[in-house]
């Protein structure tokens, strides 16, 4: 069948030379075509999207390998993928895992298969025997393929969005479920701090071991940034995705959080002078990010600043407590802090808890107690490489 042979020749997979501005731009801009008619998709800011391909700027490249590939058919970009060898992760877990990320594709199995085959070959050439994904280059990159909740707008870029057909394209490559990350929606009018949480919080406060620290202004928050970074790195040691971050990576994460943080929405739990828990909540500025189309200038930044005042949704993304303080009332303190913040803020009608791993059973149970409705699911997949 000649047409079949012809189409095979027409599809090329190109390795992106990250020094080549045109290729990098093609990679970054592809999603704008894939989601041209999708009102739920939120484009990342260009500064962040280009940073991921910048081997000099992004701290991940100081220890690990990433390669980017574009699928091109008849001169048009139709798909992309990034494949990652996270060396500290593999050393820490004694594994030989590769990750895939930034997968975008038209609804075409041939394109998806060609992209994944290239990714598999790259990984096997490095002696890696398993692929996991979507999983990115750091803790701020969202996990998983969206498997339900496509009708809801993406929560900024904290959560991955993808067309409904992505699930079947990925599963057709032989991937199976590794772990689900559920996002919950808490209607503020039904949001109550359970009596149990109040009781535990009062007891913990009376004992005086742990306390909730709030910040008077951004300057004070920045003074605590380093200690928050250390706690952030240590809080998730039992998590599936954990690996010890380098100091540059911790700084990178903290700097990113601090740039968009409102000091009133960041709470920490302290034990003496040490940070042992934290809660990061952010104004949901998705609508302004959609209007900005990746560009902060000339008007994107102003619109985002205005959206901080306009939005009625808050996203809680980043909640952790050091393992040795779990079960000592630390969790209750965090929920109490969250409740107080949201009830006192008066701006928010909707609260979203993004990406809670199904493996964190206590937290999932707590969210049900807070009347949380599970309304999005992001699935991380795995495949053994033969």
**Contact status, residue 308 vs residue 301, Cβ threshold 8 Å:** no
Number of residues in the chain: 386
Distance (Å, rounded) from C-alpha 113 to C-alpha 223? Answer: 49
Distance CA 207, CA 214 (A): 19
For residues 253-283, b (16+ Cβ closer than 10 Å) or e, as one string? bbeebbeebebbbbbbbbbeeebbbbbbbbb
Name the nearest CA neighbour of 137 among 90, 176, 177, 82. Answer: 82
Please, how many CA atoms are within 13 Å of residue 73, restricted to the half-sphere of its CB?
15
pLDDT at 134 (0 to 100): 97
The per-residue pLDDT for 9 is: 57
Distance CA 73, CA 76 (A): 5
Per-residue confidence in pLDDT tens, the chain, 386 aa = 433 444 445 899 999 999 999 999 999 999 999 999 999 999 999 999 999 999 999 999 999 999 999 999 999 999 999 999 999 999 999 999 999 999 999 999 999 999 999 999 999 999 999 999 999 998 889 899 999 999 999 988 888 999 999 999 999 999 999 999 999 888 767 667 778 778 888 888 878 788 888 899 989 998 898 898 889 888 888 888 889 999 999 889 888 888 778 988 888 999 888 999 998 889 999 999 999 999 988 888 899 889 988 998 888 888 888 888 877 777 788 888 877 777 777 788 888 888 887 777 767 777 776 778 889 999 999 999 98
CB-based contacts of 37: which residues, under 8 Å, 6+ apart? Answer: none
Q: What's residue 337's pLDDT?
A: 81
pLDDT of residue 2: 39
Angle, CA 25 vertex, CA 65 and CA 260 arms, to 5°: 75
38-41 contacts: CB < 8 A, separation 24 or more?
38/163, 39/153, 40/150, 40/151, 40/152, 40/153, 40/154, 40/161, 41/154, 41/161, 41/290
Displacement of CA 172 from its chain's centroid (Å): 24
Is 302 in contact with 260 (CB distance < 8 Å)? Answer: no
Residue with tokens 């909540």: 281
Contact, 330 vs 293, CB < 8 A?
no
């Amino acid at each position: 069948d000649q047409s079949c042979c012809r189409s095979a020749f027409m599809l090329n997979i190109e390795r992106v030379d990250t020094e080549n501005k045109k290729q990098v731009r093609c990679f970054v801009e592809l999603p704008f075509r894939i989601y041209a008619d999708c009102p739920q998709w939120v484009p990342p800011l260009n500064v962040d999207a280009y940073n991921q391909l910048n081997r000099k700027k992004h701290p991940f490249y100081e220890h690990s390998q990433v390669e980017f590939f574009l699928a091109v058919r008849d001169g048009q970009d139709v798909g992309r993928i990034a494949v990652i060898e996270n060396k500290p992760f593999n050393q820490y877990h004694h594994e030989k895992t590769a990750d895939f990320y930034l997968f975008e594709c038209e609804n075409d199995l041939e394109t998806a298969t060609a992209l994944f085959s290239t990714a598999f070959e790259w990984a096997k050439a490095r002696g890696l025997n398993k692929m996991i994904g979507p999983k990115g280059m750091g803790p701020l990159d969202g996990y998983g393929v969206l498997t339900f909740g496509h009708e809801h707008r993406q929560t900024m870029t904290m959560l991955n969005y993808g067309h409904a057909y992505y699930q079947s394209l990925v599963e057709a490559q032989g991937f199976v479920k590794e772990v689900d990350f559920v996002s919950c929606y808490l209607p503020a009018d039904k949001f109550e701090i359970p009596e149990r949480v109040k009781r535990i919080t009062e007891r913990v406060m009376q004992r005086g071991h742990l306390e909730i620290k709030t910040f008077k202004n951004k300057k004070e928050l920045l003074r605590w940034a380093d200690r928050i970074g250390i706690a952030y790195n240590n809080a998730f040691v039992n998590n599936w995705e954990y690996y010890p971050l380098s100091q540059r990576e911790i700084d990178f994460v903290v700097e990113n959080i601090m740039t968009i943080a409102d000091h009133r929405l960041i709470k920490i739990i302290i034990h003496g002078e040490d940070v042992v828990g934290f809660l990061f909540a952010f104004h949901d500025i998705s609508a302004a990010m959609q209007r900005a189309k990746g560009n902060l200038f000339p008007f994107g930044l102003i619109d985002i600043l205005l959206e901080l005042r306009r939005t009625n949704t808050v996203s809680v993304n980043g909640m952790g407590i050091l393992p040795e303080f779990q079960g000592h009332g630390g969790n209750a303190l965090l929920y109490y802090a969250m409740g107080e913040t949201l009830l006192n803020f008066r701006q928010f009608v909707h609260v979203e808890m993004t990406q809670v791993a199904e493996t964190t059973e206590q937290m999932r149970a707590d969210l049900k107690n807070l009347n949380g409705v599970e309304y999005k699911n992001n699935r991380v997949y795995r495949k053994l490489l033969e």
